[in-house]
């Protein structure tokens, strides 16, 4: 089969599309013939060996896919349309996935959109629900709001009845964040003052932060009383430090969110989450904005677009037509 392969830990440029053997499924695994793969920032980190999981090379990256089940296994039937999270191996014509990470796909959801759902929507579901305990009527500030995790957070927060304020770095990204359900959009530069104005000085209840870096201190200052700041990632490249005395006056909570670790510890949890997300997929409340669709041969360019902050909305690789 054809697959995108990380040949050395030198970033997206070291990804080559090669002929490799098909994966041999372990007992109970579901073999999926891949139609589309979502390209996410963890795949970019993987190309440099900067992701928490550091497999031996060569390795096929690819966190999430959509496709068709090849043979009966793990409670699925041959021909079932599914979305899945193999974590590794998705950027290939075929992948073997643990059944706990395979999800039934409603007939109305196209393969393109489906490939963009599992990782980011289930992570945003965990972050906003279980970790932040978001309530209807609260205000949520979303950094990187035109990115994969950002658009998922905007859509799920809006669907939960929150007011969503998006933080983005360009006018094009502002459009995508609005289309994903953001009620207000503020620029990354000077977001703190803009949030202050928009909320009449009150601040927001929850900050969704997949960016980190030097935004972190101002994110803390944007929080209303008993606000929660969700730490999700560091696309801004810097790991912020927090002086804990800053947390006292506002009764502030800084919350770590790591979906992969939680899914490993609680294998039944992703399916439970999917049961919450599936009705939103059917209703259209979950509808990932697709920014670019690349052929498998252009996987390196798909990864580069995220690495270089050019991606707007989700970036996909169409593996088969
Ligand atoms: N904790 C978890 O469970 C979990 C799960 C999934 C993903 N993540 C993490 O979440 C983060 C976002 O992933 P994603 O797939 O949503 O990425 P993405 O689609 O590339 O979006 C990331 C956003 O970060 C912003 N950004 C700021 N500085 C950047 C820079 N120097 N380079 C690139 N982007 C920059 C960009 O928005 P602006 O240009 O508008 O600022 C961009 O839209 C990653 O760190 C990923 O590892 C965490």
Domains contained in the chain, CATH given: 2-117+288-318 (3.90.180.10), 120-260 (3.40.50.720)
Share above pLDDT 70 across residues of the chain, in percent, rounded to a whole number: 100
How do residues 62-72 score in pLDDT, each as one tens digit? 999 999 999 99
Nearest CA to ligand 1 atom 2: 258
| Residue 106 CA, ligand 1 centroid: distance in Å | 28
Mutate to test the pocket of ligand 1, among 48, 52, 144 (most ligand atoms within 8 A of CB): 144
Does residue 194 register a pLDDT over 90? yes
Tokens of 81: 């349309």
Tokens of 66: 């959509």
Find the distance separating the first CA and the last CA of the chain, reported in whole Å: 15
Q: What is the DSSP string of 139-206?
A: EEEETTTTSHHHHHHHHHHHHTT-EEEEEESSHHHHHHHHHTT-SEEEESTTHHHHHHHHTTT--EEE
- C-alpha 271/C-alpha 75 separation (Å) is 13
Contacts of 3 (CB under 8 A, 6+ apart): 17, 18, 20, 60, 89, 91, 92, 93, 296
What stretch of H or E contains 2? strand 2-6
How do residues 149-181 score in pLDDT, each as one tens digit? 999 999 999 999 999 999 999 999 999 999 999
- Which residue from 50, 126, 59 is spatially nearest to 89, judged by alpha carbons? 59
Q: What is the dihedral of CA 155, 290, 287, 263, to 10 degrees?
A: -70
Nearest atom (ligand 1) to Cα of 42? 47
| Residue 129 CA, ligand 1 centroid: distance in Å | 20
Nearest CA to ligand 1 atom 13: 41
Does residue 321 register a pLDDT over 90? no
Contacts of 178 (CB under 8 A, 6+ apart): 166, 185
Q: What is the DSSP string of 277-290?
A: HHHHHHHTSS-PPE
List, in sequence order, every beta strand (DSSP E) within 8-108.
Answer: 15-19, 30-39, 64-69, 81-84, 94-97, 102-104
- C-alpha 80/C-alpha 66 separation (Å) is 11
Ligand 1: residues within 6 Å at CB? 40-42, 45, 119, 123, 144, 146-150, 168-169, 173, 188, 210-211, 232-237, 257-259, 306, 309, 311
pTM exceeds 0.75 for this model: yes
- C-alpha 49/C-alpha 38 separation (Å) is 19
How do residues 228-280 score in pLDDT, each as one tens digit? 999 999 999 889 998 999 999 999 999 999 999 999 999 999 999 999 999 99
| Average pLDDT rounded to a whole number, residues 131-152 | 98
């Amino acid at each position: 089969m054809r697959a995108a392969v990380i040949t050395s830990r030198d970033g997206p440029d070291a990804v080559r599309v090669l002929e490799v053997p098909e994966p041999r499924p372990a007992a109970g695994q579901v073999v999926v013939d891949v139609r589309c793969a979502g390209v996410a920032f963890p795949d970019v980190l993987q190309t440099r060996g900067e992701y928490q999981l550091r497999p031996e090379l060569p390795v096929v990256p690819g966190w999430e896919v959509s496709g068709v089940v090849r043979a009966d296994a793990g409670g699925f039937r041959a021909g079932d349309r599914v979305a899945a999270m193999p974590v590794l191996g998705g950027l290939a014509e075929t992948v073997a996935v643990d059944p706990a990470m395979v999800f039934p796909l409603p007939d109305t959801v196209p393969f393109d959109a489906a490939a963009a759902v599992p990782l980011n929507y289930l992570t945003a579901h965990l972050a906003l629900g279980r970790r932040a305990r978001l309530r209807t009527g609260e205000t949520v500030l979303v950094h990187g709001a035109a990115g994969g995790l950002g658009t998922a957070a905007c859509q799920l927060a809006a669907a939960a009845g929150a007011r969503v304020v998006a933080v983005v770095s360009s006018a094009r990204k502002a459009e995508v964040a609005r289309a994903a359900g953001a009620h207000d959009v503020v620029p990354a530069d000077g977001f703190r003052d803009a949030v202050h104005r928009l909320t009449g000085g009150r601040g927001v209840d929850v900050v969704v932060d997949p960016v980190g870096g030097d935004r972190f201190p101002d994110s803390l200052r944007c929080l209303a009383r008993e606000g929660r700041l969700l730490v999700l990632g560091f696309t801004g490249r810097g790991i912020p430090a927090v002086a804990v005395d800053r947390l006292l006056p506002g009764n502030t909570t800084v919350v770590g969110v790591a979906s992969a670790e939680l899914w490993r510890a609680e294998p039944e949890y992703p399916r439970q989450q999917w049961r919450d997300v599936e009705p939103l997929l059917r209703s259209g409340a979950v509808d990932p904005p697709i920014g670019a669709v690349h052929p498998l041969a252009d996987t390196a360019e798909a990864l580069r677009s995220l690495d270089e902050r050019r991606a707007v909305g989700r970036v996909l690789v169409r593996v088969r037509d």
